Amino acid sequence: MGIMRIGRAELKVLDLEKSVEYYTNVIGLDEVGRYDGKVYLKAWDEWDHHSLILQEAQSSGLDHFAFKVENAEDLEKLEKKIELFGCTTKRISNGTRLGEGEAIRCELPTGHIVELYHEIEKVGTKVGVVNPHPWPDGLRGIAPHRLDHLALTGDDIETVTRFFTEVMDMFISEKITTIDGEEMVGSFMYARNGKAHDIAFIKGPDKKLHHAAFYVDNWYDVLKAADILTRNDITIDVTPTRHGITRGETTYFFDPSGNRNEAFTSGYITYADFPTITWTEDKIGQGIFYHRRELSESFVKALT
């Protein structure tokens, strides 16, 4: 069955127009449409209609996230597997969202809502597929290539990890355990796409978003992202550094509603036989921030 990648996230924001301004001019996404009071956006290097949806709400955070599957038939097969696992599914009808077909929705053991879909309008990119230039003219802000991954928090890391590995046939690239190895307190999982991770879960309150990450080209672009953030008076949570987990390079910051974003790059390539890397809880500071080797209070407690 074909989970290809994380496809989209819908974020709750406190001020819709202020958030659109931020995500288009600071992050550098393109607005592709508005429907039912929501704004749809995509990164310049994404082919599908959208990867981010913004909705105005009384509180910030994650409304839901979704994975794209390879074939329409995968939806029915995965629906059965989800129900056998013990989660209730709901069909989302064709046309509920702009540019999308039917989807399947369920609630995870951590309380988060996840959807699966296949059909979505392909709008392409400005560079096209014939003799394309490396990037288009007119890029704005950080200008990431794509929505890369989400990190969420929840109480039952073991069960939600089993959901993604047993039901979704995803793989664990890295995990965090207690020192004695008896309990899993974090997991980083990927589909069959070569990425270090599509979704991560860290022990914490249920239903919370830790961050939504956007992929940039290289370390220089992470540094440039931090420059752009400062120039626009955006609150930075973590200045440019390296992860031990995934080996990625990163900077973290907050959107106007307090949702944490990440500009992420590098990391290793995964395969179906990639061995799971284990970090013990006493080394979590080094695992997250390889240079500083300790977590800041804001990085742990600032959740939406």
Is the domain of 292 the same as that of 201? yes
| Residue type at 233 in one-letter notation | D
Q: Is residue 138 part of a domain?
A: no
Q: Are both 156 and 49 inside the same structural domain?
A: no
Among candidate residues 117, 132, 157, the one where a domain is terminated: 117
Q: Which residue, 190, 144, 183, is CA-closest to 165?
A: 190
Query: Residue 231: which CATH number?
Result: 3.10.180.10
> For residue 262, what are the domain limits?
146-301
Let me know if residue 129 belongs to a domain: no
> Are 189 and 294 part of one and the same domain?
yes
Domain boundary among 62, 96, 117: 117
Determine the pLDDT at residue 218: 97
Amino acid at 253: F
Single-letter residue type at 210: H
Quick one: pLDDT at residue 233? 98
Residue ranges of the chain with per-residue pLDDT less than 70: 1
Residue 261 and residue 180 in one domain? yes
Q: 66 has which bridge partners?
A: 8, 115
* Whether residues 226 and 111 fall in one domain: no
Residues 153 and 104 in one domain: no
For the chain, what is the domain count? 2
Q: Are 209 and 234 in contact (CB under 8 A)?
A: no
pLDDT at 2: 80
Catalytic residues: 149, 197, 211, 243, 252, 262
> Is 35 inside any structural domain?
yes
Could you tell me if 225 and 153 lie in one domain? yes
Angle at 56 between CA 104 and CA 53, to 5 degrees: 45
> Is 292 part of a structural domain of the chain?
yes
Q: Is residue 134 part of a domain?
A: no
Assess whether 164 and 255 both reside in one domain. Answer: yes
**Burial label, 278 (beta-carbon count in 10 A; 0-12, 13-18, 19+):** middle
At residue 1, the pLDDT reads 59
Distances (CA, A) of 259 to 72, 110, 206: 32, 19, 16
| pLDDT at position 113 | 98
Q: Report the chain's C-alpha Rg in angstroms.
A: 18
